[in-house]
Amino acid sequence: MKTKTDVTPEPSVLWFNHKKKCVRTDDVVYLKSFDNYTRFYLSNGRQFLSSHTMKIYEQQLQSKGDFTRVHRGTLLNLKYLTKFEKNTEGNWACLSTGEKIFVSRRKIKKFEEHTSSNFSEN
């Protein structure tokens, strides 16, 4: 007989193509908007394009993980953040995938609030 403690939580997923395809939110490194489309960048290096705006995904992801908007066109999963750099070229979020994502001046305050204990500055 199973008790409530025996049940492991199901990972959060996003569904696409009329619930024919799904992706785990933990596998999403970041999203970039392209007009009315959104490109997903996954931890395994794969990418795919969705025909919905990033605003729709931002609303869905607010309750499913540590996602924050770091630029008008970029939504970042903070689980992949390893370091934050401020230099003369701007503000950069360094990811465990080796990528650097630009953090805009307008989004820096909210970004720092979300990551207050998770990053180091250079």
- For 19-62, the pLDDT digits (tens) are 778 889 999 999 999 989 999 999 999 999 999 999 999 988 87
Instruction: Tell me whether residue 55 is in a domain.
Output: yes
CB-CB neighbours of 51 under 10 Å: 9
- By the 8 A CB rule, do 70 and 76 touch? yes
Q: Is residue 54 part of a domain?
A: yes
pTM of the model: 0.81
The domain that contains 55 carries what CATH number?
2.40.50.1020
Rounded Cα–Cα distance for residues 96 and 119 (Å): 12
Identify whether 32 is part of a domain: yes
The band of 118, judged by pLDDT with boundaries at 50, 70 and 90, is low
Task: Confirm whether 72 is domain-assigned.
Answer: yes
Quick check: is 39 in a domain?
A: yes
- pLDDT for residue 70 is more than 90: yes
The whole domain housing 44 covers 11-114
pLDDT on residue 117: 54
Domain tally, the chain: 1
Give yes or no for residue 75 having a pLDDT over 70. yes
**Per-residue pLDDT at 55:** 92
The pLDDT value given to residue 63:
78
Q: Is residue 59 part of a domain?
A: yes
- Residue 5 inside a domain? The answer is no
Q: Residue 1: inside a domain, yes or no?
A: no
pLDDT of residue 94: 95
Q: Report pLDDT digits (tens) over 79-96.
A: 999 999 998 889 999 999
